[in-house]
Structure 1
Amino acid sequence: MIPLLGHTAGHCGIAIKQQNQWVLFCGDAYYSHLELNPKNKLRSLGLVEKTFAEDNEKRLFNLKRLQHLAQHEPKIEIICAHDPDELKRYQK
């Protein structure tokens, strides 16, 4: 379990070791795979996430950590609970 505080008190992700990579299930730490690229500015979605965050500063801090992983660690697959595109990848 990996603490990803901010969305709710005690929010955590789960790291799952697979054959040649890790999968990091982040729950509600972000809502769209597009957020993993820091160049993407999704203002409406960010406002929704801010509204529901228990601690938005911590949420943003952890989002930056996830963005860093996504950009620099190709052997870590990052997924969340809300993105239908990510879900489709894992239903195959």
Structure 2
Amino acid sequence: MSLISEHIIPGPNGRVFGTDASNQRELECIKKRLLTLDGIKLVDINMEIFPREITVFTSKLVSVEDVEKKVQTTSFHAIAKDNIEL
């Protein structure tokens, strides 16, 4: 494990998570909950693919584990996808 694999690094790329939420209402609930975490500035929802994806953008280092736990409070799950090459 490394800093990059365990955290979301601030910047234009964000971090992509796959989720088991399937409809717009469920994904909006996840987005709303994630925006309450300190450091998260934007959550982008991709409805074009399955499983659905959300991209999280931050203004400071945010733990991937914190994001996953926050999504679990909505009764759904989010799994971080592979890192984007910098």
The question of a shared fold, defined as TM-score above 0.5 by the shorter chain, is answered with no
Larger Rg computed on CA atoms: 1
The structure where helix makes up a greater share of residues is: 1
TM-score by length of 2: 0.35
Higher relative contact order (CA 8 A, sep 6+): 2
Normalised by the length of structure 1, the TM-score is 0.34
